[in-house]
Amino acid sequence: MGLNRRVFLGTMSAAAAALSAPRVLGQARPRVVVIGGGCGGATLSRYLAKDSAGAIDVTLIEAQRSYNTCFFGNLYIGGFWRIEDTAFGYAKLATDYGVNVVHEFAVGVDRDAKVVTTGSGATFGYDRLVVAPGIDFKEGSVPGWDLSAQDAMPHAYKGGTQVQLLKAQIAAMPQGGVFAMVAPPNPYRCPPGPYERVCMVAHLLKQSNPTAKILIADPKESFSKQGLFEEAWERHYPGMITRIGPDMGGKAVEVRPDTMEIVIDGEAQEVDVCNVIPAMRAGNIAAIAGLTNEAGWVPVDPATMATRADGAVFALGDSTQQGDMPKSGFSANSQAKVAANVIRGQLTGSRIFPAKYSNTCWSLLAPEDGVKVGASYEPTPEKIASVESFVSQKGEDADLRRRTYEESLGWYAGITADMFG
C-alpha cells in the first residue's frame, strides 16, 4: 500500500481510540446482558465491547458452544457448502473483545430486579438486557407435528444437526420418491428460505434421483422472489416441483410422522421425506420475560430496538416485531448495530446517531445462478419502514447470476466475521 492509502476498516490507532474512549456515567461499570449469540446477539456483543473499549461489562449468555448459521444450510443441502463451514465459536468474542461468554440456557428474567437466571441457577444482574433468542415454533400449527416428531419429519429451520438429518434423509430416498415440504405461514425466519431449499433439494435429486418429485404445501398466496423461483424451477428442474397453494388445500395440512403421510385437503399421501416448517414465534425466553404480544413476537421501538414493554430491555432479530424488515441474519445484524449505539450512549454518554437499517438476502437457484432481494429502512413512529428496495430480475444473463452467487459467498464471510470477530 502506498503512503496515500489509509486502511478503511483496520484497527484504530491507539491515539484515536483514546480520544473516543467513552466517559462512564455513575461509578460502577455498567452491565449489559445479552441472551442469544446469533446474528443479533453476537453482533451486538462484539460492537458494544469493542466500541466501549472496556467501559461496559458485556455478558453473552448463549446455550450452544458452537453456532451453526442457518444461512448457507440450504447450500450445504445442495452440496455447495460444507457443514463444518457453517460452524462458529465464541472464543474471539471472549479473548479479542473481552465479552464474558456464558454457555448456558437463560431460563428466567426478573425485570423488576433486573436479573437473568440461567439453568445452573446462576444469576446475572444488568443495567440493560438484550434479548436475541431467534425463533421457536408455534405448538399445533401443523396438526400431527410437534417437536417430538422432528427426527421423523425435520424442520431443519435451525442450523446444524437438523439440516444434516434432512440431507441424509434426502440421500436415502428411493428412486422416484417424494420429498414433501410444509411451508410456513407469515411471518417467519428467512422469507425466501423454504424456496431456496426447494431449489437445492431439486439440484441434489436431479443428479442422484432424477425421477423423484418435490411437493410443497403452502399456506401463503404468494412468497418472496416468487417469480424468480418459479422461473428457476421451470428452467432447471422442469416437471419436478409442484406447489399446492392455499386455494388447493395447502393451508389445512396435517402430517402423520408414524406412517410418513401428509394429508392435503383430506387426502393422505405417503411421502419419503417430509420437511415440516411450522409457524413461528419469538424464542421462548422472550415470552418468559413477558415481552411478547398475542402473536408471539416482541414489539420494539423502531428508532432504538428497545422493547415496547421495558425501556431497559432491547430485542433484536427474528424475535422482534418491528415493521417491514424481513426476519433475516442481515436484518438482525443491522438492528444490532443500531441498538449497540443506543445502549452505549445511554450507559456511557457517547453520541447516539440516527438509526439506519438495511437488508439483502441472496438465494441460490442452481449452480452459479444466484439472485438477491434487498431494501433499506428507516424508523417511523409506528414501525421500521422500507425506504427503497430492489430485486433481481427474471431472465438476467448467466454472468450476472454467477456474480450474484459469488457475492453471496463474500457476504457470508463478511457477516460471520462481523458477528464473531
Partner 1 sequence: MRLGLAAAAVFAATAATAADRLGDVEKGAAIFAQQCRSCHEIGEGARNRVGPQLNGIFDRKAGTAAGATYSRNMVRMGSDGLHWTLATLDAYLANPRALVSGTRMSFRGLQDPADRADVIAFLREYSAMPQNIPESAPTARKTPPGIDPAVLDIKGDAEYGEYLAQECTTCHQRDGSDRGIPSITGWPEEDFVIAMHSYKVDLRPHPVMQMMAKRLSDEEIAALAAYFGTLD
Ligand X SMILES: Cc1cc2nc3c(=O)[nH]c(=O)nc-3n(C[C@H](O)[C@H](O)[C@H](O)COP(=O)(O)OP(=O)(O)OC[C@H]3O[C@@H](n4cnc5c(N)ncnc54)[C@H](O)[C@@H]3O)c2cc1C
Q: How far is the CB of 387 from ligand X (least distance, A)?
A: 18
Decide whether 55 or 282 has the Cβ nearer to ligand X: 282
With contacts defined by CB under 6 A, name the span among 294-302, 328-336, 344-352, 371-379 that binds ligand X. 328-336
Binder to ligand X among 41, 144, 154, 219 (CB under 6 A)? 41
- Residue 131 bridge partners (DSSP): 35, 315
CB-nearer residue toward partner 1: 8 or 28: 8
Partner whose binding site includes residue 10, from ligand X, partner 1, none (CB under 5 to 8 Å by kind):
partner 1
Instruction: Select from ligand X, partner 1, none the partner in contact with residue 259, using the beta carbon and a kind-dependent cut-off of 5 to 8 Å.
Output: none
What are the DSSP calls for 262-314, one per residue?
Answer: EEETTEEEE-SEEEE---EEE-HHHHHTT---TTS-EEB-TTT-BBSS-TTEE
Of the candidate spans 101-109, 172-180, 269-277, 413-421, the one that interacts with partner 1 by CB under 8 A turns out to be 413-421
* Residue at shortest CB range from ligand X: 38
Q: How far is the CB of 410 from partner 1 (least distance, A)?
A: 3
**Which of positions 140-169 make contact with ligand X (CB under 6 A)?**
157
Burial of 65 (0-12, 13-18, 19+ CB in 10 A): exposed
Contacting range for partner 1; rule: CB under 8 A; set: 85-93, 112-120, 247-255, 328-336: 328-336
Give the shortest CB-47-to-ligand X separation in angstroms: 14
Residue 175 neighbours by CB under 8 Å, 6+ apart: 209, 211, 212
* 7 touches partner 1 (CB under 8 A): yes
Site string for partner 1, 28-67 (x = CB under 8 A): -------------------x--------------------
Number of residues that bind ligand X (CB under 6 A): 39
Q: Quick one: DSSP state of residue 21?
A: P
Q: How far is CA 188 from CA 181, 297, 349, 420, in A?
A: 15, 11, 36, 25
Angle between helices 39-52 and 398-420 (to 10 degrees): 60
337 touches partner 1 by CB under 8 A:
yes
> In what side-by-side order are the strands of the sheet with 261-264?
253-256, 261-264, 267-270
Contacts with ligand X, 52-71, as mask; x by CB under 6 A = ---------xxxx--x--xx
Among 152, 330, 369, 371, contact with partner 1 (rule: CB under 8 A): 330
Of 346, 272, 352, the C-alpha closest to 55 is 346
Site string for ligand X, 218-257 (x = CB under 6 A): ----------------------------------------
Residue 18 grid cell: 483514546
Contact between 105 and ligand X by CB under 6 A: the answer reads yes
- The answer to whether residue 318 forms part of the interface with ligand X (CB under 6 A) is yes
Output 132 or 264, the one with its CB closest to ligand X. Answer: 132
Q: Which helix (H) or strand (E) holds 406?
A: helix 398-420
| Greatest CA separation for the chain | 73
Helix or strand holding residue 232 (H, E): helix 226-236
Q: Closest approach of Cβ 392 to partner 1, in Å?
A: 8
Chain centroid to Cα 280, Å, comes to: 12
Amino acid of residue 263: V
